[in-house]
């Protein structure tokens, strides 16, 4: 896989890596892991919210009246 960054992204990543004392690759991998973990959490939350909305649809409708 090749990841192409803009000059601005590359510079920001370089500065972040330097600030943290890590390599650009380590910072990028951590960012990807963080994103994937949170997207998964969001999907679970969305599914639970949908289930709750269906379960309590009548109650929610009455509350809205």
pLDDT of 18: 98
Which one-letter DSSP state was computed for residue 56?
T
Predicted confidence at residue 41, as pLDDT, reads: 66
Reading the chain (65 residues) residue by residue, the pLDDT tens digits are 899 999 999 999 999 999 999 999 999 999 999 988 887 767 767 777 888 778 888 887 888 87
What is the residue-wise DSSP string for 20-39?
HTS-HHHHHHHHHHHHHHHH
pLDDT of residue 6: 97
In terms of residues, how long is the chain?
65
pLDDT at residue 28, rounded to an integer: 96
Domain ranges of the chain: 7-63
């Amino acid at each position: 896989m090749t990841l192409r960054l803009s000059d601005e992204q590359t510079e920001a990543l370089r500065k972040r890596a330097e600030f943290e004392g890590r390599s650009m690759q380590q910072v990028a991998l951590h960012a990807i892991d963080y994103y994937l973990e949170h997207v998964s959490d969001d999907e679970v939350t969305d599914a639970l919210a949908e289930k709750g909305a269906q379960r309590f649809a009548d109650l929610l409708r009455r509350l809205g009246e």
